[in-house]
Amino acid sequence: MNFQTDKILVTGALGWLGISLVESLVHGLKDHPALAEPKPDLKIRCLVLPGQDGALLKKISDRIEVITGDIRNAEDCARFCEGMSGAVLFHTAGIIHPQKVAEFNAINVAGTTNLLEAAIQAGVKRAVIVSSNSPCGCNPHPDHLFDEHSPYNPYMGYGRSKKLMELAIKERAGRIETVIIRPPWFYGPNQPPRQTMFFQMVRDGKGPIVGSGNNLRSMSYIDNLCQGLLLAALVEKAAGETYWIADRRPYSMNEVIDTIERLLETEFGHKCAHKRMRLPGLASEVAYVVDATLQSLGLYHQKIHVLSEMNKTIACSVAKAERELGYNPTVSLEEGMRRSLAWCVKQGITI
């Protein structure tokens, strides 16, 4: 990996994606020969929230500097970016499931704006910023794939905040090189408890299938996503562009749950119930109405929000990233889920 700088900034460094990205910067990505050898002299500065344990990052490398701060605070952003002229910034921080809807704009929009302004003032060269599939919402029909020309049609408060974030990024594109990365649902090592709970639900016969289960979901194995982020920083012509980054093809919800169940039983010694928690498609539509009502009142309920999406097709094409970045998502669902489960075992996490 030949960055044109030895200075790297990472926000959200202790998040699921952030810590995986830091590990990729330090150790390289072994599945991708062009990214397998890390740049040995990188100085990586990581932003973590007050109260988070930065020692976890120090264990990865002694070249990691940990800064405590919050992107909602402009002074913290300025301190984080100070002295980093010419650096590459990876912005992975954001909020998906808040306590209150107002947090979407405070963190995803205002926080990103604070960070970009600080980066511009400090002379940061390029910002690679993680967005989402949510600014484009759900596919208009089951055979449709989103691409970079798809119009905005944001899904709920999170989608609206990410749309506004993307617009704020584009407004500043003439003052700093920016690359927007849109990942869908991702999976892999360093996963949060909610993903482990999903595995447990599959094991116990409670894996949720809403409607037929044939609706497609694009997913991104965490190392595939890190590959996309690294390439977005390395490829010169990526400046000013937006890329969908996911596994090469989408998967049906039936395939996702069947794959997890099969691996749990045949490779990890778990006895599975071989059942599904089946709900009619109407359950998601009711959840959508409840979710929209709650969010209009400034309230957010994670399980209701997730249920509202469970019968939807949310699928994208990665053709532009393959063509322009050389993106090559070599890890697909079965191997990615195998590595996810193996990580849980290694960490002593009970499934």
Each residue's pLDDT tens digit, 256-265: 999 999 999 9
pLDDT tens-place string over residues 21-38: 999 999 999 989 889 988
DSSP secondary structure, 42-109, as one string: -EEEEEE-TTS-THHHHTT-TTEEEEE--TTSHHHHHHHHTT-TT-EEEE----SS-SBTHHIIIIII
Model pLDDT, residue 142:
92
Confidence of residue 2 (pLDDT cuts 50, 70, 90): confident
Distance from C-alpha of 9 to C-alpha of 344, rounded to nearest angstrom: 28
* Domains of the chain and any CATH numbers: 7-191+218-249+314-330 (3.40.50.720)
Dump pLDDT digits (tens) for 104-158: 999 999 999 999 999 999 999 999 999 999 999 999 999 999 999 999 999 999 9
Q: Would you list the DSSP string of 297-324? A: TTB--HHHHHHHHTT--B-B--HHHHHH
Q: Which of 192, 181, 47 is nearest to 119 (CA)?
A: 47
pLDDT band at 40; cut points 50, 70, 90: confident
Residue 1 has pLDDT above 80, yes or no: no
Tens of pLDDT, residue by residue over 173-202, are 889 999 999 999 999 999 999 899 999 999
